[in-house]
Structure 1
Amino acid sequence: MSRSREEVEATLQIAKLSVEDLRSTAQCLTFSETFASGEYSLMELDDALCKEIETGGSLVIRGDKGDHAVLCSQNKTYDLKFADTSNLLLFLPDGKTADLLPDDELPLSIAPCEISGFSNYYWELRRCRPKMKKLKKLLLENPYEGPENEQDTSASVYTTEDLLNQIQASYEELMDHLKVIHACNIKGFWRLLDFDYEMKLLNHITQLMDSESWSFSRVPLTVCLEELRSLEPEQMIEHCLECFGKRFSEEEEASFALDEDKICRTTAQMLLQNAVKFNLSEFQEVWQQSVPEGMTSRLDQLKGLALVDRTSRPETIFLLKTEDLPEDTQERFNTLFSMREKWTEADISPYIQDLCGEKQTIVALLTKYARTSLQNGVKVYNSRRPVS
């Protein structure tokens, strides 16, 4: 039932409020005939997400049944956090904020306003890292081993849309990570190259460079494709150059400058993947002999890929890839501290760098999840909780 102006003024008098101090329009709330609870959910958006929707963009909730749901914009991923509120939140389709109400002279006017629903909670968004662990697992179901090995047409392959439906990441984050792991789009499907096949492609390129006496800073694309097209598809050769180099144009001719660190790092992975542990000095000698002539191998190229054990005699090195560690921060630290009780900051940093959120530093992360102590005058970190 609607309220009269006299009833509103009487209520204001009981509340000891003066009509002159208020807007000249009072919105009187009543329940709608179609009122229903539980049919609406509220979500708190920041300015960037509001602008994305206002400009025609979209927000997508992603996750399988067993996943904690995330919300993705075009380029960011957010955790959906359930937030209770002690104040009942009312949905007023025709409600107006104070700045939208007319600032007329008295007398007081009455504007009916219907309540269509309510909620006592809302979804709070918190920026989080995209969850990429599943991506490589999916692509490794059917790695690409070259055109001569493409026989099983029933094997699992995934389009961009397929991956977006299964990976909890925004479109741009997914595309960036596909590039990081050297995935290639072949006939509309994303494929991860078999490691041995990728090394085969790289060897073709470096051997051609050696025979042609090319500099690593300038590998002409056209000539490279012409010389190697009889061995491998042009798309694969160009893809390999994209993975291990940087494209540039010189007199309208596309060329690539190969990245020494990336090539040395991949060569080290090839040597280490078939050994549990490798004598460090022997490894360094074999490694330098294995990289293309003119390149220099250095241990700092292996951050997040291999770990050196300085306490063993002789010193050893073994494969430990960041991508193989848990995505969850606490689980990551538990795994690292179960492998080694005490870590120096230099050793552990490459394995937790990707866990840092926006404006978060490695030192802040270590302060939260680890304790410090001195060992032979060197600061080391160990777990804050017992590790099984």
Structure 2
Amino acid sequence: AERTRRVSSCRNSRPGPGFARALRPGHAPQPIGAPGAASRCRVSFAVPAALRPRPSRPVGGPRPGAAMRRTREEVDATLEIAKLNADELLPAVHCLGFGPRASGAAAGDFCLLELEPALCQQLEAGHSLVIRGHKDEQAVVCSKDKTYDLKIADTSNMLLFIPGCKTPDQLKMEETQGNIIHTEIFGFSNNYWELRRCRPKLKKLRRLLMEKPYEGTDSQKEKDSNGSKYTTEDLLDQIQASEEEIMTHLQVLNACEIGGYWRILEFDYEMKLLNHVTQLVDSESWSFDKVPLNVCLQELGPLEPEEMIEHCLKSYGKKYMEEGEVYFELNADKICRATAQMLLQNAVKFNLAEFQEVWQQSVPEGMITKLDQLKVIATVIVTMTQQGLALVDRQSRPEIIFLLKVDDLPEDNQERFNSLFSIREKWTEEDIAPYIQDLCGEKQTIGALLTKYSRSSMQNGI
């Protein structure tokens, strides 16, 4: 689907029970009275008039059989031929016939969509599902908080679309005395669309925002009108993910909204803001666990916009209130990680021992650097994590470290593994885990991914 198409529930045109039954997740549509049903009723299928042989008739007269309907006698005769006991069936009889508009379904006028109960309840509550994707992308369906692959499934059973069709349970609740219900088949199909939960496709989000990173109000690039900027609606229109997943990932990227547009801070500018904050903490002898917002804004306001100072505190700390004042608890792991990236981004490879020494000297006093900080860091929200940043090569002499960000790796599973194994022929699970953790789907483990896309081997008994 190109751009965005919205599928909304219609309160005034809710599908009948027959339609809901046909879309029951995990079950093929079951005709009323089919074997295995809890209750059985009499079913009679009428042959479409268009398929009957046309006898000769006088010009201008009515066409014989155009409005033929089964009589009670014909139904009883059919039951007798089928050797069915009428006493074991519900008294109501459904006579199904193809209406004049049913042929349109074969041309694709109708699409059936199978939904899990939770999604069905959302539609019935008035929420919407959105189909997202451009011409060169596989379409996905997004609810408010989840993303699904949209796949077509063929079935050997013909699926009938019957508005207002009543199920056996509904018929049992009604007082029917052998009446015949003539029902028109509105459409039919031999396939339906099914949804499968998938990972949101979020790599594109960072790529779009990096087209014009924010470098401060005084930057010449900021004054230049060239470069794309994106609002929330723009991102919802282009990113194949739900709104909640997009907003969560914007926090992971430390993006902020400036003038109605979402922006990622240019890394050097972000480090400049962080240095202002850490130097102020050091000069005031504050604890990193209790940094007052108001004082930071007063002291650093003349240097940088207040909203940028507060954004930096939010990116590297946790906000809390105490005695009516706003404070931030700075995250030492995130600050150490950012400092490591600053040191590594200008070097192809770095002697590991020298790097660790320079790294420790570069972070604020009182913080301890650890190589684990370059792997995976869980942030304030459990679902938000920062993955692999740098890779250590312990086979080289001397040991080296180099920058390898998971953000720069392909999003596709197979392409990701191909890229990683082109960098290193053999990996330990500990080393590769930070670079594939984001590929894990719902209820999927890193071990399952490794089993599918790689082979294990023993080296020196390990």
Q: Does 1:26 align with 2:86?
A: no
Contact 1:24 / 1:105 at 8 angstroms: preserved in 2?
A: no
1:287 aligns with 2:371: no
Task: Quote the residue 2:126 is aligned against.
Answer: 56
For 1:138, which of 183, 208, 218 is the aligned residue? 208
Give the Cα separation in 2 of the matches to 1:103 and 1:297.
Answer: 71
Distance 1:60 1:69 in 2: 10
The match for 2:243 is 171
- Report the equivalent of 2:437: 353
Q: Distance in 2 between matches of 1:107 and 1:42?
A: 34
1:146-176 deviation digits (Å, cap 9, x = unpaired): 0112212343111100000000000000000
Distance 1:231 1:103, change over 3 A: closer
**TM-score normalised over the length of structure 1:** 0.95
Amino acid at match of 2:91: S
Secondary structure of the equivalent of 1:311? coil
Deviating more after overlay: 237-246 vs 31-40: 31-40
Q: 1:110 aligns with which of 180, 191, 214?
A: 180
Per-residue displacement from partner, 1:104-138 (whole Å, max 9, x unpaired)?
A: 67752111111111111111111111001111111
Which residue of structure 2 aligns with residue 274 of structure 1?
A: 346
Q: In structure 1, how many angstroms separate the alpha carbons of the residues matched to 2:302 and 2:285? A: 21
- Which residue of 1 is the match for residue 453 of structure 2? 369
1:74 pairs with 2:144: yes
C-alpha separation between the residues in 2 aligned to 1:107 and 1:280? 88
- 1:8 is aligned to 75
Partner of 1:383: none
Say yes or no: does 1:225 pair with 2:297: yes
Query: Per the alignment, do residues 16 and 285 of structure 1 end up closer, same or farther by CA in structure 2, a change over 3 Å counting?
Result: same
Q: Distance in 2 between matches of 1:99 and 1:319?
A: 64
Contact 1:85 1:120 in 2 (8 A): yes
Q: Mapping of 1:226-245 within 5 angstroms?
A: 226-245=298-317
2:28 maps to none
Q: How does 1:176-215 map to 2 (within 5 A)?
A: 176-215=248-287
User: Residue deviations 1:41-97, cap 9 Å, x none?
Assistant: 111111111111122211000011110010000000001111111111111012111
1:102 Cα deviation from its structure 2 partner: 3.8
* Residue of structure 2 equivalent to 1:296: 368
Which runs of 5 or more residues in structure 1 are unaligned? 379-388
CA distance in 2, matches of 1:331, 1:20: 63
Q: State the partner residue of 2:381.
A: none
1:34: Cα distance to partner? 2.0
Q: What one-letter code is carried by the residue in structure 1 that aligns with 2:259?
A: K
1:345 deviates by 0.6
Instruction: Specify the SS of the correspondent of 2:457.
Output: strand
Q: How many residues align?
A: 378
Q: Could you tell me how far apart the structure 1 residues matched to 2:355 and 2:416 are?
A: 28
Equivalent-residue separation in structure 2 for 1:6 and 1:276 (angstroms): 89
Of 23-32 and 72-81, deviating more is: 23-32
Contact 1:325 1:335 in 2 (8 A): yes
Distance change in 2, residues 1:337/1:108 (3 Å)? same
- Bigger CA radius of gyration: 2
The letter for the 2-side match of 1:115 is I
Contact 1:79-1:125 within 8 A present in 2 as well:
yes
Is contact 1:206–1:292 with CA below 8 Å preserved after alignment?
yes
Counterpart of 1:306 in structure 2 is 390
Contact 1:142/1:156 (<8 A) preserved: yes
State the shift of 1:289 in Å: 0.7
Q: Per the alignment, in what secondary structure is the counterpart of residue 348 of structure 2?
A: coil
Distance 2:77 2:176 in 1: 16
Compare 2-11 and 163-172 and name the one that shifted more: 2-11
Amino acid at match of 1:263: I
Q: Distance in 2 between matches of 1:373 and 1:243?
A: 41
Question: How far apart are residue 103 of structure 1 and its match?
Answer: 5.3
Alignment-derived partner of residue 386 in structure 1: none
Instruction: State the Cα RMSD in Å.
Output: 1.2
Indicate the larger mover: 176-185 or 32-41: 32-41
**In structure 1, how many angstroms separate the alpha carbons of the residues matched to 2:173 and 2:125?**
31
In 1, distance between residues paired with 2:85 and 2:418?
63
Q: What secondary structure, in the 3-state scheme, does the structure 2 residue paired with 1:145 have?
A: coil
In 1, Cα distance between the equivalents of 2:176 and 2:232? 61
Q: Is the 1:25–1:102 contact (alpha carbons within 8 Å) kept by the matching residues of 2? A: no
- In the alignment, what sits opposite 1:381? none
Q: Select the residue among 413, 416, 425 that pairs with 1:341.
A: 425
State the partner residue of 1:332. Answer: 416
Give the Cα–Cα distance (whole angstroms) in 1 for the partners of residues 128 and 175 of structure 2.
43
Preserved CA contact (<8 Å) 1:24 1:102:
no
Q: Which consecutive segments of 4 or more residues in structure 1 shift more than 3 A? A: 102-107
Query: What amino acid sits opposite 2:365 in the alignment?
Result: E
1:241-252 alignment, distance < 5 Å = 241-252=313-324
Letter of the 1:2 counterpart = R
My pick for the range that moved more, 161-170 or 354-363, is: 354-363
Distance 2:69 2:398 in 1: 88
Question: Contact 1:24–1:103 at 8 Å: present in 2 too?
Answer: no
2 CA distance for matches of 1:223 and 1:297?
28
Q: CA deviation at 1:367?
A: 1.3
- Aligned twin of 2:37: none
Ranges in structure 2 where 5+ consecutive residues have no aligned partner: 1-67, 376-387
Post-superposition offset of 1:9: 1.7
Aligned AA (1:113): T
Partner-residue secondary structure (3-state), 2:304 = coil
